[in-house]
């Protein structure tokens, strides 16, 4: 009896402790995220008032690169990736200087026209604040990691106005195929608190509840499944293009000053050829897709190209908002080609491509409820899971640890990060494919013999 009482007492103290800590951290990050988003929106509004503001991209990229290089190299990249790396390799230790550096560099990049997002920087700023909070109170490495994960959840929740999926994102994104249940409570508390604080301070969010309720049938379910496969392939293409851009950027051993200048000039040329729709956050294109207004069929491809160049040339910013753009515009293409409701599949595409690119199908499924309402959620969830599987063993976050095989027929080393994991088909599992090939070849030989006799 005494043991049971002692156990419950320890658990009670732990619950109270983490509710208190997560509430404080969530409140601070809600405030910091609000400041960041308001400054970013103000900068974008004033910069875009000039028709050719994007001509400053080379200068903006260069300024971003120099600020990060000399003040806080840890702020390089698209934010969330660096947090995952810090959690796995440094027990969540992040320098506090990342906070102002990431904020300034991201605002410069996006306001000058760079194609990037705001979730990664907000999460990285939140994680750096959480890490500093742990240092001030001299927490151990385990508690610091938990607080930094809370920073991811709180930043995501405050940026997109999705407290539940934001909380899940923080505990799901670190590993591909598993969830950190021990951080679930503080992540939820931090995410919900951060969202409430940011809402109270005046941040507004976009959501699009859908009244579309299809009559369930095997035919429609099959269409949703096909859509999931399509969005998985889109996710795979996005990841591979991001990887290719970074490889090309690293292959040419250019002076650090030349890389952002060349990247900015290339984007200026592409902007004049196409349009300004693929610069910055791209929120207007996302909103128009979700209201059923399709854009050019190549919109998602161009956004991938613009984002890859921006981040590979040293621009600072997140990747989730571009993923939303790609998913929504790809969804309009799918809906148009199949004769289905364009807005519905834009919404399904938005969350499905997120699930595929980041290996977070649960977070993406919950987000479909928070953004689009419960009527669409069952179909979006199916597409999210299929997209997650179709993307294979790859991610926009190379530091993400692989903890499952997405198919028993694929051999891959578990427990390693995505960058070092190499997947290949197990020889014994090829027998079915080999059998199909043999049958096909036998049929061809038989047809040839019949034709020869005739």
Q: Which two tokens stand for residue 51?
A: 């028709």
| Topology, domain 218-402 | Clc chloride channel (1.10.3080)
**What's domain 2-200's superfamily in CATH?**
Clc chloride channel (1.10.3080.10)
Higher pLDDT, 40 or 220: 40
**Over the stretch 133-191, which tens digit does the pLDDT of each residue have?**
999 988 999 999 999 999 999 999 999 999 999 989 999 999 988 888 899 999 999 99
Q: Is the pLDDT of residue 405 over 50?
A: yes
The values of phi and psi at residue 425, to 5°, are -75, 130
pLDDT of 426 reads 57
198/159 Cα distance (integer angstroms): 8
Q: Which two tokens stand for residue 356?
A: 């595929």
The three-state secondary structure class of 411 is strand
Q: Is the pLDDT of residue 395 over 60?
A: yes
Q: 361-364: which pairs have CB atoms within 8 A and are 24 or more residues apart?
A: 361/385, 361/387, 361/388, 362/168, 362/172, 362/179, 363/165, 363/166, 363/168, 363/169, 363/172, 363/173, 364/165, 364/388
Q: In which residue are the tokens 């974008």 written?
A: 44
Q: Where are the beta strands (DSSP E) in 146-297?
A: 175-176
**Over the stretch 254-303, which tens digit does the pLDDT of each residue have?**
777 899 999 999 999 999 999 999 999 999 999 999 988 888 999 999 99
Distances (CA, A) of 55 to 92, 112, 263, 272, 423: 38, 8, 12, 10, 42
Q: Which two tokens stand for residue 79?
A: 């934010």
Q: Domain ranges in the chain? A: 2-200, 218-402
Asked whether the whole model's pTM tops 0.85, one would answer yes
**Over the stretch 424-439, which tens digit does the pLDDT of each residue have?**
665 554 444 555 555 5
- Strand-pairing partners, residue 425, are 410
241/4 Cα distance (integer angstroms): 55
Q: Which two tokens stand for residue 14?
A: 């732990």
Q: 374-379: which pairs have CB atoms within 8 A and are 24 or more residues apart?
A: 375/209, 375/210, 375/211, 375/212, 375/213, 376/210, 376/212, 376/344, 376/347, 376/348, 379/214, 379/224, 379/348
Q: What is the dihedral of CA 230, 232, 233, 234, to 10 degrees?
A: 90
DSSP 259-289: HHHHHHHHHHHHHHHS-GGGSS--HHHHHHH
289/350 Cα distance (integer angstroms): 10
- Other C-beta atoms within 10 Å of 336: how many? 13
Closest to 227 (Cα-Cα) out of 356, 345, 369: 345
Q: What is the dihedral of CA 380, 82, 190, 284, to 10 degrees?
A: -50
Q: What is the dihedral of CA 169, 157, 206, 199, to 10 degrees?
A: 170
- Domain 218-402 in the same topology as domain 2-200: yes
């Amino acid at each position: 009896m005494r043991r049971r009482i002692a156990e419950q007492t320890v658990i009670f103290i732990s619950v109270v402790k983490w509710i208190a800590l997560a509430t404080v951290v969530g409140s601070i990050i809600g405030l910091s995220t609000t400041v960041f988003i308001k400054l970013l929106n103000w900068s974008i509004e004033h910069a875009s008032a000039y028709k050719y503001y994007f001509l400053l991209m080379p200068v903006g990229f260069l300024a971003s690169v120099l600020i990060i290089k000399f003040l806080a190299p840890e702020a390089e990249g698209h934010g969330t990736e660096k947090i995952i790396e810090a959690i796995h390799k440094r027990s969540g230790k992040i320098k506090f200087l990342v906070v102002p550096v990431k904020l300034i560099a991201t605002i410069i990049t996006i306001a000058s026209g760079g194609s990037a997002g705001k979730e990664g920087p907000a999460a990285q700023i939140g994680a750096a604040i959480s890490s500093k909070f742990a240092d001030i109170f001299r927490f151990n490495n385990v508690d610091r990691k938990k607080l930094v994960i809370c920073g991811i959840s709180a930043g995501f929740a405050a940026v997109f106005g999705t407290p539940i999926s934001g909380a899940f994102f923080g505990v799901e994104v670190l590993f591909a195929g598993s969830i950190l249940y021990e951080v679930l409570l503080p992540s939820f508390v931090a995410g919900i608190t951060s969202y409430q604080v940011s809402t109270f301070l005046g941040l507004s969010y976009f959501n699009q509840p859908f009244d579309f309720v299809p009559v369930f049938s095997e035919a429609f379910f099959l269409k949703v499944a096909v859509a999931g496969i399509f969005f998985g392939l889109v996710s795979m293409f996005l990841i591979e293009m991001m990887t290719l851009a970074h490889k090309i950027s690293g292959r040419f051993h250019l002076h650090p000053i030349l890389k952002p200048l060349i990247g900015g000039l290339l984007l200026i040329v592409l902007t004049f050829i196409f349009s300004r729709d693929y610069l910055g956050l791209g929120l207007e294109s996302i909103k128009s897709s979700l209201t059923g207004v399709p854009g050019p069929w190549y919109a998602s491809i161009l956004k991938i190209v613009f984002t890859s160049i921006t981040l590979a040339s040293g621009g600072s910013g997140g990747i989730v908002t571009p993923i939303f753009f790609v998913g929504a515009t790809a969804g309009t293409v799918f809906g148009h080609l199949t004769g289905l409701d364009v807005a519905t599949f834009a919404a399904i595409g938005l969350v499905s491509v997120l699930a595929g690119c980041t290996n977070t199908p649960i977070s993406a499924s919950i987000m479909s409820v928070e953004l689009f309402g419960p009527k669409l959620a069952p179909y979006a969830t199916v597409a999210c899971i299929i997209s997650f599987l179709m993307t294979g063993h790859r991610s926009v976050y190379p530091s993400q640890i692989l903890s499952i095989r997405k198919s028993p027929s694929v051999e891959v080393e578990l427990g390693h990060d995505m960058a070092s994991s190499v997947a290949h088909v197990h020889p014994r599992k090829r027998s079915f494919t080999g059998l199909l090939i043999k049958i096909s070849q036998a049929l061809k030989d038989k047809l040839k013999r019949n034709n020869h006799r005739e």
